[in-house]
Amino acid sequence: MVRDEVQRRLTQALERVVAAGEIPIEGPLPEVGVEHPRSPEHGDFATNVAMVLARPAKMPPRRIAEILKQALEEEGGFFASVAVAGPGFLNLRVEPRVYFEALAQVYEAGAAYGRTEPPRREKICVEFVSANPTGPMHVGHGRGAVTGDVIAELFAWRGHEVVREYYLNDAGAQVDVLATSVYLRYRELHGEEVTLPEDCYPGDYVIEAARKLKARDGARWLSAPESEWRPALRSFAIAEMRRLIEADLDAFNIHFDVWSSEAELKARGLIDEALAYLREKGYLYEADNGAVLFRSTAFGDDKDRAVIKADGSYTYLAGDIAYHWDKLKRGFDRLVNVWGADHAGYVPRVKAAIEALGFDPKKLHVLTVQMVNLTRGGQPVRMGKRSGEFVTLREVIDEVGRDATRIFYIQRRSDAQFDFDLELAKKASLDNPVYYLQYGHARMASILRKARSRGYALPDGAVDEAALEALGLPEEVALARRILDFPHVLAAAADALEPHRVVYWLHETIGAFHGYYTKYGKQGERVVSDDPVKTRGRLYLVQALKQVVANGLAVLGVDAPERMEWGEGAEAAGDPEAASETQAHPPATPDGAVESRGT
């Protein structure tokens, strides 16, 4: 990456002037950081290293910056300009040819461009969705599902070892309620009149499960005592619900490496083992009512928490303590949990348990996800799991498509509430975020097809010096910079646990391309023109950009179509190069795009 080369040259310049005694520093030198300035007018990169060095060097930061400026200018050929600004910032502008020549990296890496090596490779467990196995997934689960999936993918592109894990809460009271619900529907299918208790699940999926039970076992359970039918139906119902959940996830292009089970943890004795360890360490005690409490206040929680109820049954926390202990004993360096926002208050007690078990609580990172307001034509769509009238995730995917569903869920920060507009998600319009992104890729593909039809060979990655010399418009330089910054965007999104940054980068990049294409098309500077040298240079840029956009969509789990039917606000025909030059160029950030976030 050009960013890395800038950082390397700055570091070498600093080492030279320190060795020469121009900047008196003893001991190890600080790491030189570079960032993009807020305003492009200030250059391509900026660093505050002079201000970092001012105190240990006992020199004014501007003087340090001037010394570094001179050292960088002596090299020549890489930096177009080096300027000292403000109290001691260094603003750096790179020669345009450096960017264009560096595009060869995209051709070399292809579909792997954007993958990086982290400072330290970690083994990371990303646990997400983990919906109770009491029914199909609803729209609220969808946001956590795609958030966790994209975070896991970002970690993989960052170079970490990643495990996607689903934790089944299959040992609590809710699965007994599910078993009762299926049993009553089963009796109903045998001709009995039944009344469902208020706490039972009334959804059609329960009736379907009861039908399968009847088809498999006939009347076997009608006369069986509860001690026989309950455990059997509990296992049957959990398996049926897991089948529904896995089918929903498959339709969403989400697949798990590991399915963990609370019931299995209990059967293996891990809950007892974890609690015995805490008891031995003095972190458990019995309350006056007979319940057993975990002394979580010793680790910063606001009150002690029950792990065993007065009736002797485990609390949810007891299972979660054992589950996190099991994950840590499996050797994970980091645990990332994607939970609903209503679980935010649960985090301190889990971190307290991790510390009490002898592990660093900083190993746990919890990302909370806000609920989704599902709307249609401005009107809310009803959802409520226990009412039997909730909207399932599968219904949304079937109506608007997998790609639109994923983009709508991931386009904003996970902790920000938003409205999921079903009508907008189906609209073939540039106001639709997923259409906007996929349209950008299809437009680039169409330009390349046009070039082939006019006899141009598409670039193979070999540097054509004459063609690259023909590039140089400010927008071309800016697009090349964006392409080469892509690996940093992915790395920063992974490190910050902010997958929405990728969506925003794609929106901005495609908007920049549309602006460039339209502006210069009107001036007779089309990508494919009668000037073969300029055309080869621009095709080199466009094909690299198309690859990077495809890679960004792949990280999000979204298709990158080669062809699309142009909708409202886009070309009426599938050949953008032949489209009217009076076509208004699409907005850089269409309605519904993510909020700006610097990377």
Q: Are residues 241 and 260 in the same domain?
A: no
Give the pLDDT of residue 383.
Answer: 54
Angle at which helix 474-496 crosses helix 2-19, to 10 degrees, equals 80
Q: Mean pLDDT for the chain?
A: 91
Q: Are residues 565 and 466 in the same domain?
A: yes
Q: Structural domain of residue 545, as residue ranges?
A: 428-578
Q: Are residues 280 and 244 in the same domain?
A: no
* Run of H or E residues at 293: strand 292-294
Q: Are residues 151 and 300 in the same domain?
A: yes
Q: Are residues 81 and 24 in the same domain?
A: yes
Query: Is residue 434 a part of any domain in this protein?
Result: yes
As a whole-number percent, the residues of the chain with pLDDT over 90 amount to 82
Query: Is residue 346 a part of any domain in this protein?
Result: yes
In the sheet that 45-47 helps form, which strands lie side by side, from edge to edge? 45-47, 89-94, 79-85
Structure confidence at residue 567 as a pLDDT band (50, 70, 90): low
**Spatial CA neighbour of 406 closest among 527, 300, 553:** 553
Q: Are residues 192 and 267 in the same domain?
A: no
Q: At which of 251, 286, 307 does a domain end?
A: 251
Q: Which residues, listed in sequence order, are joined to residue 502 by a DSSP beta bridge?
A: none
Give the pLDDT of residue 597.
Answer: 35
Question: pLDDT at residue 115 above 70?
Answer: yes
Q: Are residues 133 and 185 in the same domain?
A: no
Give the pLDDT of residue 571.
Answer: 52
Query: Is residue 595 a part of any domain in this protein?
Result: no
Question: pLDDT at residue 593 above 50?
Answer: no
CA angle 526, 529, 534 (to 5 degrees): 85
In the sheet that 418-421 helps form, which strands lie side by side, from edge to edge? 379-380, 372-376, 418-421
Q: Are residues 164 and 179 in the same domain?
A: no
Residues 344 and 337 sit within 8 Å (Cβ to Cβ): no
In the sheet that 334-340 helps form, which strands lie side by side, from edge to edge? 258-261, 161-168, 123-127, 334-340, 364-369
**352-390: pLDDT as tens digits:** 999 999 999 999 999 999 988 899 878 888 754 433 557
CATH number, domain containing residue 568: 1.10.730.10
Name 432's Cβ contacts closer than 8 Å, sequence gap at least 6.
Answer: 404, 424, 425, 426, 590, 592
Give the pLDDT of residue 592.
Answer: 37
**Spatial CA neighbour of 115 closest among 147, 154, 161:** 154
Give the pLDDT of residue 596.
Answer: 31
Structure confidence at residue 40 as a pLDDT band (50, 70, 90): confident
Query: Is residue 385 a part of any domain in this protein?
Result: no
Give the pLDDT of residue 354.
Answer: 98
Q: Which residues, listed in sequence order, are joined to residue 91 by a DSSP beta bridge?
A: 46, 83
User: In this structure, what token pair is assigned to residue 302?
Assistant: 């606001």
> Which ranges of 76-203 does DSSP label H, i.e. alpha helix?
96-102, 104-109, 139-158, 173-189
Q: Are residues 528 and 432 in the same domain?
A: yes
Q: Are residues 299 and 155 in the same domain?
A: yes
C-alpha neighbours within 13 Å on the C-beta side of residue 264: 8
Question: pLDDT at residue 582 above 60?
Answer: no
User: In this structure, what token pair is assigned to residue 263?
Assistant: 């019931």
CATH number, domain containing residue 10: 3.30.1360.70
As a whole-number percent, the residues of the chain with pLDDT over 70 amount to 93
Q: Are residues 444 and 526 in the same domain?
A: yes
Q: Are residues 260 and 327 in the same domain?
A: yes
Question: In this structure, which amino acid lies at residue 448?
Answer: L
Our count of domains for the chain comes to 4
**397-453: pLDDT as tens digits:** 999 999 999 999 999 999 998 899 999 999 988 899 999 999 999 999 999 999 999
